[in-house]
Amino acid sequence: MRPAFTGICGTDLLIWHNGHSRATPPVILGHEFSGTVERIGAGVTNFAPGDRVTVEPLLNCGECEPCRRGDYNQCAKLRLLGVDVDGSLADLVLAPESRVFRIPDSLSLRDAAFIEPVAVVAHLIARVGGVQDGQVVFVAGGGPIGLIAAELAQRAGARVFVAEQNSFRAGTAERLGATVVRDLITAAETIREQTGTAGADICLEATGVEIALQACIDAARPGAVLGVVGLPKKVPVTDVTQIITKEIDLRGSRVYTRVDFEQAVSYVAEGQLTLSEHITHVMSFEDAIAKGFEAIERGEAMLKVVIDQESAGA
């Protein structure tokens, strides 16, 4: 495929700083992307040159126990495009036919590059059993993943609370219909006071920060479901007493499967997300470091940054 747009995520930043154990230079980054089919290999029947596509970047072995039972996102030898093998920040990128998805004509290639992080959230929502009308949902973290989850939960009819200190991200959460909680320590109390309930029905941890995980445990009502998608930079020390006494159902969520990717395509194509709020910056390949990677690290007012390779080429 010839990549058209590639999103920047936290994993890319980690690799950029040589902080990812599996990403060994030289490797080309880019795992959130869209593009156009350039050439097809022998035996490919579902695609032709010129097709507009996005790609699920997982590469699994197909032989281990998780793969055999269909949970290939838990593959013992899981690899990713843009992490373990070359990704999309290049003129061409190669992917197996089984991981390629044709995108609807109504969807722009720019917006299609956002499908991968939406698939992460689709899997997270499936892991917690879905969101129902009238539920109280607490999201710890107003980054791209947290805000996608917040908007999808709000559209499902839930009352959504988002914990976020950054003013720009907090403002986005409010525009998407969530109530913002600035202090993680008092988040549980705030949720109970404003809802008149025993706490949140569903808590979603999307930061990887220890205090945020504890805030979710505190905010959860008895019998609540807690979904954890944020990868910690260090092993958290967590008091599990409330998990036991409140019988909190703790569920991890790792990337996605094909079902989640198909759901993500639907979410984006059907307008279930306010993309103008989520995709805040589109820039050239040449500006990707100075105005993308470095700007994100400086904490500038931005959420999803997308690199435009279609206009100028890589």
Domain boundaries, the chain: 2-114+273-308, 121-252
- Measure the CA–CA gap between 214 and 192, rounded to whole angstroms: 16
| Intra-chain end-to-end CA distance of the chain, in Å | 13
pLDDT score for 60: 97
pLDDT score for 314: 45
Instruction: Copy the structure tokens of residue 233.
Output: 């930079």
pLDDT score for 145: 98
Question: Which pTM value belongs to this model?
Answer: 0.97
- Measure the CA–CA gap between 185 and 190, rounded to whole angstroms: 10
Tens digit of pLDDT per residue, the chain (314 long)? 999 999 999 899 989 988 788 888 899 999 999 999 999 999 999 999 999 999 999 999 999 999 999 999 999 999 999 999 999 999 999 999 999 999 999 999 999 999 999 999 999 999 999 999 999 999 999 999 999 999 999 999 999 999 999 999 999 999 999 999 999 999 999 999 999 999 999 999 999 999 999 999 999 999 999 999 999 888 888 899 999 999 999 999 999 999 999 999 999 999 999 999 999 999 999 999 999 999 999 999 999 999 999 986 54
pLDDT score for 304: 97
Q: Could you give the residue ranges of the DSSP H alpha helices within 108-161?
A: 109-112, 115-127, 144-155
Characterise 313 by phi-psi region: left (phi > 0), alpha (psi -120 to 50), beta (else): left
Contact in structure between 146 and 210 (CB atoms under 8 Å): no
pLDDT score for 19: 77
| Cβ neighbours around 8 below 10 Å, total | 25
CB neighbour list of residue 142: distance below 8 Å, 6 or more residues apart: 150, 162, 163, 164, 166, 169, 170, 172, 173, 180
Domain 2-114+273-308, CATH number (from 3.40.50.720, 1.20.1110.10, 3.90.180.10, 3.10.450.50): 3.90.180.10
pLDDT score for 24: 86
Q: Is 80 exposed, middle or buried (0-12, 13-18, 19+ CB in 10 A)?
A: middle
Q: List residues bridging with 228 in a β-sheet.
A: 205, 252
- The torsion angles phi and psi of 281, rounded to 5 degrees, stand at -140, 135
- Measure the CA–CA gap between 88 and 4, rounded to whole angstroms: 9
Domain 121-252, CATH number (from 3.30.428.10, 3.40.50.10320, 3.30.365.10, 3.40.50.720): 3.40.50.720
CA-closest candidate to residue 197, choices 163, 161, 251, 226: 161
Q: Is 45 exposed, middle or buried (0-12, 13-18, 19+ CB in 10 A)?
A: exposed
Tens digits of per-residue pLDDT, 30-75?
Answer: 999 999 999 999 999 999 999 999 999 999 999 999 999 999 999 9
Kindly state the percentage of the chain with pLDDT values over 90.
Answer: 92
Task: Please spell the DSSP secondary structure of 19-79, one letter per residue.
Answer: --TT--SS-----EEEEE-----TT--S--TT-EEEE--EE--S-SHHHHTT-GGG-TT-E
Work out whether the CA dihedral 138, 132, 258, 119 comes out positive or negative.
negative
- Measure the CA–CA gap between 135 and 153, rounded to whole angstroms: 9
Instruction: Copy the structure tokens of residue 23.
Output: 């990403």
pLDDT score for 48: 97
